[in-house]
């Protein structure tokens, strides 16, 4: 993955480190214990008498789904195997045990009423080709084409130039440019590319100065925060948007441009706050920095096609409500243009982050199963969400998401929480109205997951920046906690104001 991106060696080193940790001999016992606990608990839930759950009307299919849901949760939390592998495994388990194409011995000798409603196998498999997945593919294709044509280098050089050579403004430049790239490129690829551009700068800074720590920290902070600006910036955004726009669910019809209209200003404010915090915590000794970004943009006809298509796609995304062309459909335009013109080849398709897509699809499959089996309805009836204070529901979900996402994948966190919160939010729409509605609830989860960046393991950009050796974990924890508190307070304030005034 990312072999054509600038800074690929950083991503490769990071992946090798993760693999080495998973395979280390002294961790084999730990992994076995985690797997044993997960499988044992899941099997206990699978075979417990149905009455034990205390949920009226619970069926065999729903009980199996509870077992699979807990299995998914523990596997994503423990990370005994890669998160995307868990997602693929979940899809297979759903197909074989709770779908209308389940293994024969799992449905024999069980009455229809006792068995319950199965999930259409086509519904589960459609998750791999969900319109949101197509939106991500379009984003990945744009990123690959931009790198092949040198557009990313050209944009970085042009966008950083206005910030001059003063250290404080160079820091601001790296924050804003990194954030801008992460709105349309993978956060991991963006962080790797910008760290590569930053490496020669770090070398010329005083060894005893704190400024280099601030510059190195700016990359992961900006990559994580910037991703909130667009639906394709980070998977949790897309997961939240899917449930907000589900025609059979909330059906809010929030477009790409509409998302940007309220999330982009919030993102920019948080980025400037991050700039202020980094300057205060890590002041520069050297007042001026000379930037040297190597590489040139290509000028052949295929590169011109990339520049034009990139611009048209972004414009159509931003004005999807005006043109009437859905953002998911717009995402297919660069795919078609680049494949026809030979900009994207068969080999380039290998650079698409399929593991991310499978991860998202696995979360969608869990959501589909919750809905179609009727388990979601029974959960709402069993848990009196309507009696909960709306503030507790909204703020509590955001804090839970933030806490979880610091330790497990942001995508996995959103995949677990959003489907449940979408159902719970629907059942208490009137209660949530004064605080911005279900939109505040679900978008708050997306914000909470993106702000989770306390530890090197919290997100790949954090790990890549930490691997430079410039950042100590205590520095990352300090910045991460401050950004999390400020970001959550500001985010929920914005969502409540906009939502309660029907501007969202």
Which residues are registered as beta bridge partners of 119? 99
pLDDT at res. 209: 75
Mean pLDDT in residue range 382-406 = 83
Q: Cα–Cα distance between 139 and 334 in angstroms, integer?
A: 9
Which two three-digit tokens encode residue 76?
Answer: 């994503």
Is residue 504 very low, low, confident or very high in pLDDT (cuts 50, 70, 90)?
low
Q: Cα–Cα distance between 235 and 240 in angstroms, integer?
A: 9
pLDDT, tens only, 235-253: 999 999 999 998 877 888 8
280 has a pLDDT exceeding 70: yes
Non-local CB neighbours of 503 within 8 Å, separated by 6+ positions: 262, 497
Better pLDDT: 183 or 471: 183
Is residue 83 very low, low, confident or very high in pLDDT (cuts 50, 70, 90)?
confident
pLDDT, tens only, 95-123: 999 999 999 999 888 899 899 999 999 99
Residue 265, CA distances (Å) to 173, 235, 268, 402, 480 in order: 17, 20, 5, 21, 21
pTM: 0.85
Mean pLDDT in residue range 67-91 = 89
Mean pLDDT in residue range 27-49 = 90
Nearest Cα residue to 504 out of 136, 248, 249, 240: 240
Q: Classify residue 46 by burial, with Cβ atoms within 10 Å: 0-12, 13-18, 19+.
A: middle
2 has a pLDDT exceeding 60: no
- Highest averaged pLDDT of the listed ranges 28-37, 64-73, 129-138: 64-73
pLDDT, tens only, 308-352: 999 999 999 989 888 989 899 999 999 999 999 999 998 888 878
CB 409 within 8 A of CB 456: no
471 has a pLDDT exceeding 70: yes
pLDDT at res. 66: 94
pLDDT, tens only, 359-381: 889 989 998 998 899 887 787 77
pLDDT at res. 19: 65
25 has a pLDDT exceeding 70: no
Mind spelling out the 3-state secondary structure of 323-354? Answer: HCCCHHHHCHHHHHHHHHHCCCCCCHHHHCCH
Angular region, 323: left φ>0, alpha ψ -120 to 50, beta rest: alpha
Is residue 354 very low, low, confident or very high in pLDDT (cuts 50, 70, 90)?
confident
396 has a pLDDT exceeding 80: yes
């Amino acid at each position: 993955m990312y072999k054509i991106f600038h800074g690929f060696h950083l991503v490769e080193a990071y992946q090798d480190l993760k693999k080495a940790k998973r395979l280390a001999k002294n961790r084999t016992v730990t992994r076995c214990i985690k797997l044993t606990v997960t499988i044992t608990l899941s099997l206990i839930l699978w075979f417990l008498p149905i009455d034990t759950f205390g949920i009226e009307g619970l069926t065999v299919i729903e009980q199996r789904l509870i077992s699979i849901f807990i299995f998914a949760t523990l596997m994503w939390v423990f990370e005994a195997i890669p998160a995307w592998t868990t997602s693929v495994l979940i899809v297979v388990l759903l197909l074989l045990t709770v779908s209308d194409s389940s293994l024969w011995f799992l449905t024999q000798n069980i009455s229809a009423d006792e068995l319950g409603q199965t999930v259409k196998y086509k519904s589960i498999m459609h998750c791999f080709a969900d319109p949101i997945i197509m939106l991500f593919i379009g984003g990945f294709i744009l990123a690959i084409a931009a790198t092949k044509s040198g557009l990313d280098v050209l944009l970085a050089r042009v966008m950083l130039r206005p910030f001059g050579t003063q250290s404080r403004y160079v820091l601001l430049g790296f924050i804003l440019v990194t954030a801008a790239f992460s709105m349309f490129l993978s956060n991991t690829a963006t962080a790797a590319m910008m760290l590569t551009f930053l490496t020669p700068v770090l070398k010329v800074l005083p060894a005893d100065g704190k400024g280099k720590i601030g510059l190195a920290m700016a990359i992961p902070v900006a990559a994580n925060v910037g991703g909130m600006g667009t639906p394709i910036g980070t998977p949790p955004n897309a997961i939240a948007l899917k449930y907000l726009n589900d025609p059979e669910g909330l059906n809010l019809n929030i477009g790409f441009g509409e998302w940007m209209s309220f999330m982009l200003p919030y993102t920019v404010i948080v980025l400037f706050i991050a700039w202020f915090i980094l300057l205060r915590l890590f002041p520069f000794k050297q007042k001026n920095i000379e930037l040297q970004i190597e590489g040139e943009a290509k000028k052949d006809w295929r590169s011109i096609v990339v520049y034009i298509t990139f611009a048209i796609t972004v414009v159509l995304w931003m004005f999807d409500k005006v043109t009437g062309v859905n953002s998911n459909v717009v995402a297919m335009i660069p795919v078609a243009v680049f494949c026809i013109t030979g900009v994207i080849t068969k080999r380039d398709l290998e650079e698409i982050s399929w593991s991310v897509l499978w991860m998202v699809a696995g979360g969608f499959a869990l959501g589909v199963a919750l809905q179609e089996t009727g388990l979601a309805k029974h959960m709402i009836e069993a848990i009196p969400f309507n009696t909960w204070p709306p503030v507790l529901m909204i703020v509590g979900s955001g804090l839970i998401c933030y806490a979880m996402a610091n330790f497990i994948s942001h995508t996995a966190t959103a995949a677990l929480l959003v489907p449940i919160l979408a159902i719970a939010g629907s059942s208490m729409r009137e209660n949530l109205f004064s605080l911005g509605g279900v939109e505040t609830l679900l978008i708050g989860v997306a914000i909470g997951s993106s702000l989770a960046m306390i530890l090197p393991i919290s997100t790949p950009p954090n790990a890549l920046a930490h691997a430079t050796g410039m950042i100590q974990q205590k520095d990352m924890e300090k910045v991460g906690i401050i950004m999390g508190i400020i970001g959550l307070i500001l985010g929920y304030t914005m969502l409540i104001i906009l939502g309660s005034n029907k501007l969202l």
